A and B are shown apart, each in its own frame.
Chain A
Amino acid sequence: MSLELNNITLAVPGRTLLHQFSLTVPPGETVSLMGPSGCGKSILLSYISGAHHPHVTGAGRVLINGEDVTDKPMEKRRVGLQFQDDLLFPHMTVNGNLAFALHPGLSAKERQWRIDDALSAADLSGYGNMRPENLSGGQRARISLMRTLLAEPAALLLDEPFSRLDAHLRQQIRTFVFDTVREKHIPALLVTHDEQDCNGRVIELVKEGVAHD
């Protein structure tokens, strides 16, 4: 599994954010993107996932596992997107949130087994029937990540996923994420403001005009 960006150019009305940006992330690696606000880091992630706003215009190709997904609707891209907010669905239990991500066609037993497995991987066994609002921030972040992983994404996009966590939790979740990425052998792209978040390759994006130099 790999994530490949070929000559991506992104623009919003009146401004070019990225010019001919190319990058290949091999499986199991987490590449970090850094740069000032407004340089287009988050827009790049939403472009890769297909969640970008209609006023963003883009050119270039996104390849996942060698397959061109640029023209596919977001739900067909098999991309996992993780925001700084956990975005757990408030009307569902933890079990419900996790089950939502599982592929259909699994037997009920298999589903429950995978959910329990995910819960224990997140060190939260027995929390399945709780509501997201009754969990702590760190617990929610772990459940949210497990939910993303249960959908078996071919690539993982992380949009400042640690910035809402306090220092102690941050280290714990960070290690959890990088270990999981390595273990599951998925390519991951991380957008962050904090150098301590980075693990491996770091790419600095600069503001418009300089980005393509």
Chain B
Amino acid sequence: MSAVSNHNQSKPGYTLAYSIALIFPAITIAGFAGVSLPAFGWFPALGFESFSLTPWQTLMTTPGLWEMVLTTLFVGLTATALSLLLTCIFAISCWQTRIWSITSKALAPLLAIPHSALAIGVLFLLAPSGLFSRLLAGPLDWARPPDVLSVNDPLGLSLIVTLVLKEAPFLCLMLMSAVSQTPVRRLVLAGRSLGYTTAQSWLKLAWPQIYPKIRLPVFIVLAFSLSVVDVSLIIGPNLPPLLPVQVLFWQQDPEASLYLLAAAGSLLLLGIVLTGAGMWLGAEAALKRYLRTWMTAGYRGHRNPVLVHAGRSTWIVMLFMALATLVVVSLWTVAWRWRFPNILPSVWSLKSWLDDFPRLIDPLMTTLVIAFASAVIGIVLSVMCLEFRPTHKPWKMRLMTAFFYLPLLLPQMTFLLGIQAFLVSFHWDGTLTAVIACHLLFVFPYCYLSLAGSWEQYDQRYSHVGKLLCGCPWKTFWQVKIPILLTPLMTTLALGIAVSTALYLPTLMAGAGRFETLTTEAVALATGGNRRLLALYALMQMLIPMLFFALALLTPKWSQLKHRKDSSVPASGRTPLYEP
């Protein structure tokens, strides 16, 4: 039941909730329609007015196409499988240890780091002249950076490392919430009382109940890894690049006919994502079949502390590597001279902050405007949706939620290209409204999902009592419900800002190159040689979401402080009770 409407949930209310819920999936689907026409030669805005198969013929004869397709599939599937494996290792080896609670605190700031900033950090770590090779240079006696492709390697291994660093923590967060909804303690106890080791009990009893709960996030990770553009531009293969990047190159080419090629290529990308999902489903089914006998074969397992410690160490190394990206990026912003084998800069200076920071102010402001606007609009729409959704029809609610996932489960490159085709046709591209709307495609679902839990946990009786007391639903909503839910609302604002700050393609596609955000600038600079400037951009990218998350964390503390001040007043009224 909602606070704004009365108990008779109104028809207009449902209509509002449904229309908000449907806008973004509808735009996504329209994007696919918009990309299909140019893929078959029809794009009047650029002067192509007849259907043909030419774009497809050109696509199929592109040199190195199949290499691109296969590498894209390899990178996406490997990154997803490794992320899931690491999550599983984490669950089994760290459950009920201090690492678990430390991780639960470290995850939020880690997840707030935009993909591209993390990629820049990994670039600084893994590059031939990066921090890792500097650490090795001493013992191995290297005078100059080794001549190996440790980043931008043709197989995309460095890209996989970056994706895993970002996606494994995401899956872990999902795992932790799944664990809290599953009686893992009881299951593991039951297993151990039957003589199974903790690890075997986890694998055979807890994991089969937990995996279905994190399956949707796994598919989101898969779709993302198969179609990622910004991270791939920074650290992925160069010649040839992965397919999504190649599609972007075609789209940006001044030669107009390549736009049609980009459209066809993006549909091929959709095919790759669907194929990848199909392969994943096939692997799931095969494993399920193969493991069914193993689960009930009665193997109890042996205590293996070495393996458990190896699992924990892997996870700690991963957390440290993520932290190291932040450190190395910060170092580069204050390093003036940092010759190769030196582990630390030899000359420190704030010169790049003083000289280059003014350059950042414009993109910083643009980023903040877009992020703040899309996060606030995302929250307002989510709250309207949550207030008016049909709570007494669970299947309709589930369907609504399922729709929200659509933009996250499909390749961005494909539908954004189609949306861009629409925007270009109606001359709406390059407007702030178009950019914010495209950001909302991704910001809104996260806002909604983040608020939905708090809205469900809210005790409706507070609103009932409020309405009965003051007779005004609006007053009750603003003075009772919103203040009680202030902390989740602030966290969601921070999340929305983090999501928007990280977005690359939506800004690029809807902005017609007129909007420079920290992320678009950082990605553009990544191929150049100016490490200090690049580090400055990456650091700002990391700091903005972290700053807002810190503010959100402070909200409840702040109101506590305020209330301590309040409650000190009536001490006089309190003391008589304790006096004899």
Contacts and interface: CB of A to CB of B under 8 A. Distances in A.
B392 interface: yes
A126 B573 contact: yes
B566 to A, nearest CB: 6
Given A79-B468, A126-B570, A89 B7 contact: no
Contact of B6 (A50, A124, A126): A50
B389 to A, nearest CB: 12
Q: Which interface residue of B8, B9, B464 has the most chain A CB atoms within 10 A?
A: B464
A132 B44 CA distance: 66
A112 to B, nearest CB: 15
Given A73-B7, A126-B572, A131 B563 contact: yes
Given A75-B473, A85-B461, A100 B468 contact: no
Interface in A134-189: 134, 147-148, 150-151, 153
Contact of A91 (B559, B567, B572): B559
Contacts of A52: 7
B466 A54 contact: no
Contacts of A125: 573
Q: Which interface residue of B391, B466, B468, B573 has the most chain A CB atoms within 10 A?
A: B468
Contact of B468 (A124, A126, A153): A153
A103 B468 CA distance: 12
B464 A147 contact: no
A35 B5 CA distance: 32
Interface string A118-137: 00000011111111001000
A91 to B, nearest CB: 4
A4 to B, nearest CB: 19
Interface string A35-69: 00000000000000111111100000000000000
Interface string A79-93: 111010101011111
B1 interface: yes
A8 interface: no
- The B interface, classified by DSSP as helix, strand, loop or mixed, is helix
A75 B462 contact: no
Given A87-B461, A126-B572, A130-B570, A49 B468 contact: yes
B484 A87 contact: no
B354 interface: no
A81 B566 CA distance: 28
A209 to B, nearest CB: 25
A87 B468 contact: no
A151 B7 contact: no
B6 to A, nearest CB: 3
Nearest to B575: A126
Contacts of A92: 483
B467 interface: yes
A78 B529 CA distance: 72
A89 B465 CA distance: 10
A74 B7 contact: yes
Contacts of A124: 573
B470 A100 contact: yes
Interface in B523-573: 559, 563, 566-567, 569-570, 572-573
A74 B573 contact: no
A212 B320 CA distance: 70
B286 interface: no
A92 B469 CA distance: 15
16 contacts: A73-B473, A75-B468, A75-B472, A81-B464, A87-B465, A91-B486, A100-B466, A103-B471, A126-B570, A128-B570, A129-B566, A129-B569, A130-B570, A131-B567, A148-B465, A151-B471
Ordered nearest first, which 4 A-B pairs have the shortest CB separation? A126-B573, A73-B6, A75-B467, A129-B569
Given A73-B6, A74-B6, 8 more contacts: A54-B7, A54-B392, A77-B468, A78-B471, A80-B469, A91-B559, A101-B470, A151-B469
Interface of B: 1, 6-9, 391-392, 459, 461-462, 464-473, 476, 479-480, 483-484, 486, 559, 563, 566-567, 569-570, 572-574
